[in-house]
Amino acid sequence: MQGNLRKMQVQLDSPAKYQLRLGDQLVELNPLIGKMIKLTFTGNISCVYCERSMKKSFNQGYCYPCFISLAQCDMCIMKPETCHFEAGTCREPSWAEAFCFQPHYVYLANSSGIKVGITRGTQIPTRWIDQGAIQALPILKVKSRYISGLAEVVIAQHVSDKTSWQRMLKNQVEAVDLKKKRDELLVVCEAEINEISKRFGSGSIEFLDEPCVDIDFPVETYPLKVKSFNFDKTPEVSGVLQGIKGQYLLFDTGVINIRKFTGYEVKMAVTE
């Protein structure tokens, strides 16, 4: 099997189901746990947007011209509170109107500890699985990405907004009461969240009372030490697949972040 990598496709199940996308092929990964897998980078990389051949990718799969021209590559995607549309400097207003001006959710997740994050409604629960969260809870529904970013900044004063990927992969995390933590955070953040709501009008922020989502991952053995593979330095990665968590394949020889190498052309071989 051979093709250009894309982010692994995920489905909430017990455990979560994974598919590896190689070009037009989708490879079911869960049945391959326990088998020897070899991934070989051919040296070819294609832009995920324009499919231009390139020697180096930017922002997880874009060529440099796309990276510097597309609104979806702007820093405000990572930090929506710095929204270019709001500032009047968006490079693609029509794209922003479709992407950013749709319902977003502020959530709590437990991946390497409790964190706050945001996502579009269409990315629930995909976003949580991609982050390797064992629990997740949507706490606010808002009208736009910009509003979600402002709310996230407020809550992030009291809880992390980042995941320690090494701890996540080692499974150094215990289940917590996310609803209790939600209630605590909303109390301490009440005044600031109300100010945001007042600024953007009635209905701009909706407080949620949703059930907590528990996520189980297809992992037989978690690594005690995390050794990360890099196709740019090690074109051939092989080992027994011991599990999948987040966007990582966990081998007995090390781990690799598939999303990091989006656009890379890879050959895949599987043996018993």
Question: Rounded distance, CA 129 to CA 255, Å?
Answer: 17
Find tokens 């890879």 and name the residue: 266
Q: Are 181 and 110 a contacting pair, CB within 8 Å?
A: no
pLDDT tens for 2-50 read: 999 999 999 999 999 999 999 999 999 999 999 999 999 999 999 999 9
The answer to whether the Cα torsion of 219, 220, 226, 229 is positive or negative is: negative
Nearest to 215, CA basis, from 104, 82, 124, 115? 124
Q: Tens place of pLDDT for every residue, the chain, 272 residues?
A: 999 999 999 999 999 999 999 999 999 999 999 999 999 999 999 999 999 999 999 999 999 999 999 999 999 999 999 999 899 999 999 999 999 999 999 999 999 999 999 999 999 999 999 999 999 999 999 999 999 999 999 999 999 999 999 999 999 999 999 999 999 999 999 999 999 999 999 999 999 999 999 999 999 999 999 999 999 999 999 999 999 999 999 999 999 999 999 999 999 999 87
Would you call 264 helix, strand, or coil by DSSP?
strand
Q: How do strand 36-46 and strand 53-54 relate by DSSP bridges?
A: antiparallel
Judging by beta carbons within 10 Å of its beta carbon (0-12, 13-18, 19+), is residue 36 exposed, middle or buried? middle
Q: How do strand 236-245 and strand 205-207 relate by DSSP bridges?
A: unpaired
What's the token pair of residue 172?
């150094």
Sequence letter at residue 168: M
In this structure, the number of other CB atoms found within 10 A of the CB of residue 132 comes to 25
Q: What is the pLDDT of residue 98?
A: 92
Q: What is the pLDDT of residue 76?
A: 92
Sequence letter at residue 263: G
pLDDT tens for 152-179 read: 999 999 999 999 999 999 999 999 999 9
DSSP 101: S
What is the H or E stretch that residue 66 is in?
Answer: helix 64-69
Would you call 26 helix, strand, or coil by DSSP?
strand
Enter the pTM of the model.
0.95
Find tokens 């007042």 and name the residue: 198
DSSP 257: E
